[in-house]
Structure 1
């Protein structure tokens, strides 16, 4: 590829090139001399809402993070509470860079109905063994919270700070930077993982610099397997679905057409009470065990809207379902990576989980405790 004089796209960080219109960083010759020009991919994203996937993997991203960290005095680790299983691995990446860091839990507004933000931060700090004073939770839509954080950055990292912002794909890195710095308005945003493809420097007034970085995958195998439309529906942007089910032996709960779990045994009773948390775009459907594939054939892309029929064919053809046997007890969450989780609020059960090849379920302590919504408790 041919690098142009402008260097890199200010919206996504891709090196400009003029050879391949279908690759990130492409800049037509007619736009080469225009100030603030962005690559064709970002232009179409901003003006037409057209999103395209880009070739990116963790090895490529980490190779970019290492030299960026040499220019940084600290790290802002953004934690996506709806994808904790992937964000936990991003903490290991941050620690490996050997810089002081703070953990900022984004999308806290999705949990305001069920838990205080102090409780959210306490859970993260306790489970991840992080200093409480170096952890915080906020909504990326809350301009006051972002302003307050900006005022704290010189206290935490000193004057003239240079901070590397990292996290998993769709944790909100570019949105965070846009909220902290007016200069961040150039960064491209979309619900598709992989919008930012290179490290981008964004000044913060006169006091510092934030370095935007591409999102890490860290085991999120949905990203290379699903189309842009399906991927965007996995991201909880405005609302997180919370639905409670009484599941009996030989019943199954489906997370769209992505994964499902069958009740094999319920210990000393015939049922278990669980609450499912997932993106509001993922349909949750209870059915009789053994009917899952029949329902997928009949209702893929309709009742079971995620994934679309084309993505379902790809998944079934290349990534066969693997069965996992998992015991779930009261006080525990059962994570279906990239789909959501089940909280066991009453009883206990053994599940047969069916996940695409490459994924494995995880067990953790309750994240959201079993109490009714508390609309009056905010921040």
Structure 2
């Protein structure tokens, strides 16, 4: 279609090829007078907000103007994938603007989790990345947990300034923004785009008063997230839907745990002890002898060791091994985008496997 045809709502160049990309419009809608992309059409007629997604380079180009504003930043991350969703480049994007760090999906953590420890850990992670963090909130966009408290904090902290919401894909940003659309407009029926003036930058502005707005930015695609290496079906399986139930495994050294076929943990050295696994309740965990692990994986990946399904297997990078010496008790081995295993004792050596590019990390346990 003509590359000069733009969406009247957000200014994006319209295209009919890829529904997931900016400016998508069904071919059947091209004959209408007032052309709106799918995103703006849903916003206008159904009060439904959908965050757009961009690769990192495009994202940085589009949001570079934020550092020149005087505003408050809300950085939304996924508690189950902090490494994949915490934007280490955020300080150069937003400059010296203050940040409220918001960890989403807290409702899925086991009840035994110490939320104070989670908040402190997230604060330290952000501080190490050079972020100017005012506070850390733990919320659930799906369950509306702590949303009202966060809204009040945002109102207090913003001092009549604009608020920019920043986050990668798959963190629940659309659901989070939709809460504030309803909260800001006070209506649930159809609304007009005058409430949400778009720009060619792909920003959507939700008025807070006559002079300021809550501004949604495009979701950044981080290719180091597990979510980008699995099929839609597998993503549903590995993404927790309910509170995670810890699963305990008594292991001797020389034993292995497979997390489906997407990750693996080998117990190399240490006394017999309990390994506590925190993953989606739908993800199977399989225990075997270390000496049999390689052959089992070759023979049973996508079968007994599933997910991955065959679609995921076609795009999944090879599993890469990393060795860790754990000198402190109650240490978590974190598999980003999947979950973690808590090792109770000290003086333990393990070898952990994850897809190449999805980096495992170690932290003090939250329990």
How far the C-alpha of 1:96 sits from its partner, in A, is 4.7
Residue 198 to residue 333, structure 1, CA distance change in 2 (3 Å): farther
Q: In the alignment, is the contact (CA less than 8 A) between 1:247 and 1:263 conserved in 2? A: yes
* DSSP 3-state at the match of 1:304: coil
Distance 1:117 1:332 in 2: 16
Cα distance per residue 1:74-113 (max 9 Å; x no partner)? 200113211122344x154146522111112221212261
Alpha-carbon shift at residue 165 of structure 1 (Å): 0.8
Question: Are 2:203 and 1:203 equivalent residues in the alignment?
Answer: no
Would the aligned equivalents of 2:9 and 2:40 in 1 still touch at CA under 8 Å? no
1:376 corresponds in structure 2 to none
TM-score by length of 1: 0.75
- Determine if the alignment matches structure 1 residue 282 to structure 2 residue 279: no
2:83 counterpart (82, 85, 92)? 85
Instruction: Say if 1:252 and 1:260, in contact at 8 Å, map to a contact too.
Output: yes
| Unaligned ranges ≥5, structure 1 | 48-53, 187-196, 370-379
Q: Distance in 2 between matches of 1:20 and 1:346?
A: 54
Residue 260 (structure 1) shift: 0.6
Normalization by structure 2: what TM-score? 0.77
Contact 1:75–1:94 (Cα < 8 Å) also in 2: no
The yes-or-no answer on 1:332 pairing with 2:331 is yes
Q: Identify if the C-alpha distance between structure 1 residues 119 and 356 changes in structure 2 by more than 3 Å, giving closer, same or farther.
A: closer
Q: How many residue pairs align between the two structures?
A: 339
Residue number in structure 1 paired with 2:196? none
Q: Show CA shifts across 1:330-351 (max 9, x none).
A: 1321122332222111344212
Change (3 A) 1:147 1:253: same
Q: What does residue 172 of structure 1 align with?
A: 172
Conservation of the 8 A alpha-carbon contact between 2:63 and 2:93: no
RMSD over equivalenced CA pairs, Å: 3.6
The whole-number CA distance in structure 1 between the counterparts of 2:156 and 2:326 is 44
Unaligned runs of 5+ in 2: 47-51, 191-200
Alignment partner, residue 15 of structure 1 = 12
Task: Out of 142-151 and 334-343, give the one that drifted further.
Answer: 142-151
Superposed displacement of residue 327, structure 1: 1.5
8 Å Cα contact 1:163-1:211 kept in structure 2: yes
- Please tell me whether the aligned partners of residues 279 and 339 of structure 1 are also in contact (alpha carbons under 8 angstroms): yes
Q: Which residue of 1 aligns with 2:306?
A: 305
